[in-house]
Structure 1
């Protein structure tokens, strides 16, 4: 074969580069979709010898034929490109014989039944996940025996270390409850309870529930130890109720006599007031109505732990039981553990007064479902969670027994923390301040966090703004976890520098990065919008659309603005999920219709947006 001509290929790499800058000026295919699919493949012909040249050309025109059969390209354009290819082949000393031409054209014309996805490249798997921003959980921060439990169970069972640590933190926070609260300085009134909202993200096969289940069983063992106290409380309640019923009956008789004698009725005494229902001492609740939460917390000032296998079932149920609204606001208050008065839940004719509406939360959810939460009201619900989204999700394949005894013992000691007595014998939590060294570290952290929040996206900024509160809560839990491991250790009088350092490691090295992955800022705002767009495409089996349709129909806050929708589209084009299919109706002049076609592989295969 003779030397190649110096003739420049219309499909050369340089030409392809120019086409990307000016997509219609030098393109061999004029239609945007065909150009995106085939022009780079045509460019590769420049490097082929005769046999491979023919084989590649046949393959290209087999896919062109499938595209033509689907109505995305017409015969005139395909014939024009084939004529250009023949001229180019002559220029590089690879002339096509009549049999070569016949083979190419026969393949093109016989491709009507060829699967359309063959013409498209395979899109990237999970193109919107940035694993560099998902560090593993820093388990060394956990004190013994919790460290040993999490480390050894992950090693011996195949479960995710991250999910196991989420369970451990939630169990410790729930066991101690609101008997202790943290403050920066005593007397300021600024208090943070050990209330943690922890969400574990993973696919349905990630074994989230088994991992969290260990901690749930530990707490159930602690609950079982409360049975004698519950029996004593029940007997005491029955005695109070019997005495109140008798006093009320006596009072009613006095009222009856007074009325009969035409005298004013006597004033009811406190001992005749109805006794509120007994609330069983417990730690875990699973699927309560808002009214049940209020009733439970009214009798349990320590608070409870809401344990949900699927958190989406919880947040999607807002308003199901309370048509008047206010349920979401109630849960927001439950994160702070403040007092709460419910007009809808009454005891007699009076609203139920809750001294401390305190509810920790732990559970799992699937990646796609967090978008539903993110597209809801911007009221801070998302920002109250600490997120776990590990690279390794785990599988349940135990190889050795899991030892939970030491952890159960430590949790029982945490549960033994009692309230102090305030004015009128009312229960009040003991306030634990930070040491001066711990306070200095927290102050520096808060200054840096405020600076970060200035340049963060809205939801990330909201979470960073609450980061100092999360750090204080984590430090309080870590301090008492360390104390609970040793029976002889005196109760901490302050939160140490060690515990605040551990809490700062958890936030800076773990929770901050997982938060950014959740709200879509791990790779920029466009990444989060691209996830939303991809999920909309998958959920609705969208085959083609315009940007305007995305803004109007996707139902995602991140896609409402045209510039955000376009940024998401560009991300999906880069990942080969989408291809431009611009056209002018009826061949008329003017602006093209900005339409995009979804890669058929997306719906033919098992692709995920996360």
Structure 2
């Protein structure tokens, strides 16, 4: 009796190389103790204590504090390396790590003091609002009396009396904010138009917010957030109001976390408009679980953030608010120029988003130097205020950005110089897994209009990489005329990711 052997489509295929769809991860950079103290000065011990208390990598705490301090500083102080170049202090920080890496606890170490200040601001607003409402009610009586007197005067043919000052309580008080979490761009613009200084957007998970802005998925917010990094003026026209929202300086710092696989998906889908490249990205190794031996000095962080927010602004000739411009010393400008030239060398050996990130590092150094200078002052706000940014501030910022954040970004973004056909293969691999493709043609990939896969030649080069990795096989239909080529997907990929 013959035994019927069931057909197994997977039997004729080798196991696919799953690393083709995964980024290449260099080791996590580590900053030594002396090096860390040199960069962060009076805040180095606080950062280490906070990291120990929260059982989180100190890199998470460091960039969270820098971003939060930049928001507190806001539009009160802008850095000027030289004539024609002005930078707001706005910093964006992305904490990359697995779910248990300590991202949220590290954020809490910095954001909990902000919440304390937010509560104080809410109490101040409630008191001011109650006082205004009382004055407004009294003003209503005065206004009613003035209207009656004016009406009587006009009826008698006389001149109406002048409107008394106490007939108008003025505009209601503005509710000051430091931190926002999930908010529309129109609401952000409205807050900034009334509070002026700047805001901090804090998100426990950044990937969902970032992916919602993808221009190929109907998102329209990316231009807004690109402007929010630059601190430029911005206007939003509203459908339900004749008056637009006008923001003098659209400045929003950002801090939040994401997981490596979610970042990888963002990198595959992302069109390189520079949004992701603007983030200070840290991807450290997890720290061992241990019981903390110290307590977090939350009062110190509260005092520093409060001091930074208390810095006054300048005014122009018309009396409008504007930032104070803090200029670089000559030595600081020279150090920055040397760093710019070094970045040009690094760019030559990079590609893709990592290259874009390197191109933005000189501007990042200017911002970090400004924030470090003011954090030094905020550690002792009774001391001399910051009147210039010197070579020490710039040197510390150059070292942190160039020697520490750059390797972190390299680790997060993958290899510095991946061949274009391998990058294309990674994109197609992600499409296959996300959409469950089983049979397709070159034009099916071209129609998706993904970067680096616009021509048939680019797509075929990427498909050759996937065939070498046992993801695909070529099928030719030779039924007369020019053969039609399709690509079938390895059935062993089903259920794998």
Q: TM-score, normalised to structure 1's length?
A: 0.67
C-alpha distance in 2, partners of 1:345/1:241?
30
- Give the 3 Å change call, closer, same or farther, for CA 232–161 of structure 1 in structure 2: same
**Stretches of structure 1 lacking an aligned partner (at least 5 in a row):** 1-105
Match of 1:432 in 2: 326
Residue 239 of structure 1, CA deviation? 6.9
* Correspondence for 2:40 among 123, 134, 143: 143
Which stretch shifts more, 487-496 or 362-371?
A: 362-371
- Give the 3 Å change call, closer, same or farther, for CA 599–484 of structure 1 in structure 2: farther
Residue 557 of structure 1, CA deviation? 2.6
Q: How many residues of Structure 1 are paired with residues of Structure 2 in the alignment?
A: 488
- Give the 3 Å change call, closer, same or farther, for CA 369–407 of structure 1 in structure 2: same
Residue 361 of structure 1, CA deviation? 0.9
Contact 2:354–2:416 (8 Å) recurs in 1:
no
Match of 1:512 in 2: 406
- Give the 3 Å change call, closer, same or farther, for CA 171–425 of structure 1 in structure 2: same
Alignment partner of 1:410 is 2:304: yes
Alignment partner of 1:182 is 2:182: no
Q: SS state of the match for residue 494, structure 2?
A: helix
Residue 270 of structure 1, CA deviation? 9.9
Q: SS state of the match for residue 131, structure 1?
A: coil
Alignment partner of 1:364 is 2:238: no
Alignment partner of 1:493 is 2:381: no
- Give the 3 Å change call, closer, same or farther, for CA 220–541 of structure 1 in structure 2: same
Residue 450 of structure 1, CA deviation? 4.7
Residue deviations 1:61-117, cap 9 Å, x none?
xxxxxxxxxxxxxxxxxxxxxxxxxxxxxxxxxxxxxxxxxxxxx9xx976466836
Q: How does 1:381-392 map to 2 (within 5 A)?
A: 381-390=275-284, 392=285
Match of 1:582 in 2: 474
- Give the 3 Å change call, closer, same or farther, for CA 535–327 of structure 1 in structure 2: closer
**Stretches of structure 2 lacking an aligned partner (at least 5 in a row):** none
Q: SS state of the match for residue 132, structure 1?
A: coil
* Correspondence for 1:224 among 90, 103, 119: 119
Match of 1:162 in 2: 59
C-alpha distance in 1, partners of 2:439/2:203?
38
C-alpha distance in 1, partners of 2:339/2:297?
35
Residue 360 of structure 1, CA deviation? 0.7
- Give the 3 Å change call, closer, same or farther, for CA 369–130 of structure 1 in structure 2: closer
C-alpha distance in 1, partners of 2:39/2:137?
48
Q: SS state of the match for residue 108, structure 2?
A: helix
C-alpha distance in 1, partners of 2:169/2:208?
36
Residue 413 of structure 1, CA deviation? 2.9
Alignment partner of 1:442 is 2:349: no
Residue 297 of structure 1, CA deviation? 1.0
Contact 1:200–1:387 (8 Å) recurs in 2:
yes
Match of 1:603 in 2: 494
- Give the 3 Å change call, closer, same or farther, for CA 239–567 of structure 1 in structure 2: farther
C-alpha distance in 2, partners of 1:492/1:181?
12
Alignment partner of 1:478 is 2:369: no
Match of 2:444 in 1: 549
C-alpha distance in 1, partners of 2:5/2:330?
77
* Correspondence for 2:360 among 466, 490, 506: 466
Match of 1:530 in 2: 425
Residue 287 of structure 1, CA deviation? 0.9
* Correspondence for 1:214 among 109, 128, 148: 109
Q: How does 1:78-227 map to 2 (within 5 A)?
A: 112=6, 116=10, 120-121=14-15, 123-125=17-19, 128-132=22-26, 134-136=28-30, 139-140=36-37, 142-144=39-41, 146-155=43-52, 157-185=54-82, 188=83, 190-226=85-121
Contact 1:207–1:395 (8 Å) recurs in 2:
no
Contact 2:129–2:172 (8 Å) recurs in 1:
no
Match of 1:593 in 2: 485
* Correspondence for 1:341 among 226, 235, 243: 235
Q: How does 1:64-79 map to 2 (within 5 A)?
A: none
Residue deviations 1:368-426, cap 9 Å, x none?
54444764565432333232333x25687654455143333333333332334554654
Contact 1:453–1:461 (8 Å) recurs in 2:
yes
Alignment partner of 1:352 is 2:245: yes
C-alpha distance in 2, partners of 1:366/1:253?
67
Q: SS state of the match for residue 443, structure 1?
A: helix
Residue 481 of structure 1, CA deviation? 1.6
Q: TM-score, normalised to structure 2's length?
A: 0.80
Match of 2:183 in 1: 288
C-alpha distance in 2, partners of 1:211/1:441?
32
Query: Which of the pair has the greater relative contact order for Cα pairs under 8 Å at 6+ separation?
Result: 2
Contact 1:303–1:358 (8 Å) recurs in 2:
yes
C-alpha distance in 1, partners of 2:410/2:458?
18
- Give the 3 Å change call, closer, same or farther, for CA 269–182 of structure 1 in structure 2: farther
